[in-house]
Amino acid sequence: MAETSVITCLACAQANRVPADRLAQRPKCGTCGAALLPLKPVEVDLSTLRKASTTDQLPLLVDFWAPWCGPCRAMAPEFEKAAALLQGEARLAKIDTERSPEASARWNIRGIPAFVVFRNGREVARLAGARPAAQLADWVRQAVS
C-alpha cells in the first residue's frame, strides 16, 4: 500500500489522506474541492488551525499577525513569496490574532509577526519578527529536516 500523508483542508477543516506520490499533482479536498497545497497563504480560523496543527503530517508554517501591526502588513508580500519558494515542501497559513486572541494565548505568542512551524502534530520551530522570504524559507527547511 502506498504511503499517505494526512492533510487538513484549510478551507473546510476536513482531514484528507493523500498518497505521497500524488502530493506533486495538486490534490484537492475530497469534501469541498479546495486545493490542499494552495499556491498562496490561506487565512484560517482557530478551529481549523487547531486541527491542522495537531494532525497534519506535511509541515505547516503559520503567520500570527494583526491588521494594525505595521511589520505584519510589511511582511505579507514576503510571506506570499515564501509560499512560492516552499511549494510542495510546506503549506502556509495566517491567523489574525486580533480576531482570534485565543490563538495567541493557546500558542503563547508574545509579539507579532510570529511564525510557527507545525509537523506531525507538534510545534517544531518558532521565529519572531519580519524576515525576507528566502530567509524564512531556509529557516523552515532547516526546521523540518
Amino acid at 43: E
Cβ 43 vs Cβ 94: under 8 Å? yes
Domain count within the chain: 1
Q: Per the omega criterion (within 30 degrees of 0), is the bond before 113 cis? A: yes
Please give the pLDDT value at position 18: 92
At residue 2, the pLDDT reads 57
Q: Each residue of 73-98: pLDDT tens digit? A: 999 999 999 999 999 899 999 999 99
The answer to whether residue 14 is domain-embedded is: no
Per-residue pLDDT tens digits for 19-35: 988 888 889 999 999 99
CA–CA separation, 73 and 90 (whole Å): 22
Q: What residues in the chain have per-residue pLDDT under 70?
A: 1-2
User: Residue 12: which residues within 8 A CB-CB, separation 6 or more?
Assistant: 29, 31, 32, 34
125 lies in some domain: yes
In contact, 132 and 78? CB cutoff 8 Å: yes
The cell for 108 is 503563547
Residue 67 domain flag: yes
Domain that holds residue 44: 39-144
Q: Which residues are catalytic?
A: 69, 72
Q: Is residue 76 part of a domain?
A: yes
Inside any domain, residue 28: no
8 falls within a domain: no
**pLDDT value at residue 1:** 45
- CA distance to 14, 63, 67, 77, per residue, from 34 (Å): 11, 20, 25, 22
pLDDT of residue 88: 85
- Domain assignment of residue 112, yes or no: yes
CATH number at residue 49: 3.40.30.10
Does residue 33 sit within a domain?
A: no
Query: Would the pTM count as exceeding 0.95?
Result: no
